[in-house]
Structure 1
């Protein structure tokens, strides 16, 4: 009859080597002089191996189902990774658009600041004031010469009478009194 090693027997019946060694230690199985176990003795203890072949087939189907499950998980993880890449690309594009908007706003602010800092043509600068002041001194010393500028709103008579008449007698305003002085200081 055919002899099998402990490993071959455990594979044939789909059990662990420790389970086979337990049967040997109990005395249910015996080894030959070459250290192998007769198949007939294994059939007497464990039964026909065809029953256990189905268990090896079930382990194979379990392995296949585990492989299938792992393949599904890998596929799901690949989809999640693609979605993460898409989100990252979207956020990058959105950030770039916001940066572009900020750049445009910065340019607008700089343009407005340049306009604010630019001297206006009607305003006089410090150097212009120096040249205007001596001319004003001449006109103050020479009141006879009045340069008439006709702006269309005033008449020539109005340009000559630029002084406002001041009354000769001005009454002094009475002293303002505080709250407590109204009670303790007499009117004088």
Structure 2
């Protein structure tokens, strides 16, 4: 018959080695002269060894690989979710851009632009340009050929500011 060491027997039945030694000490289990236990004796005491045990051991050997595979699958799922969210965000922003472009391309009919207002004012009452310094500064909004000489109209009659008075003049002459 086949004989097993205490370590092999503990792995086969998935029990603690101390339990096997305690059974030997109590006389429930016997050893031969080589300090090995007969398989028939182990079956009498512990019953038939589970065949699933061998399968579990192979799974345990593969369990680090299995854990890595599960981790990688979780990461793939997470990345897929992030990709879907990014695609949704991109389509939303693309729609926003298209909406803004449509609004910019089609101004409302009742709105007048700044250049339309200038043209209507120049047709209604032609302004008389007053002599003044020429300013050839280019502001970047229009070409130098398009810029017109614009003058600020100053009212003809401007009242001079009253003379500032000191404290004592206000005190001795309050109504001047």
Which bin holds the TM-score, normalised by the shorter protein? 0.3 to 0.5
TM-score by length of 2: 0.42
Q: Which has more helix, going by share of residues?
A: 1
Q: Return the index of the structure with the highest Cα Rg.
A: 1
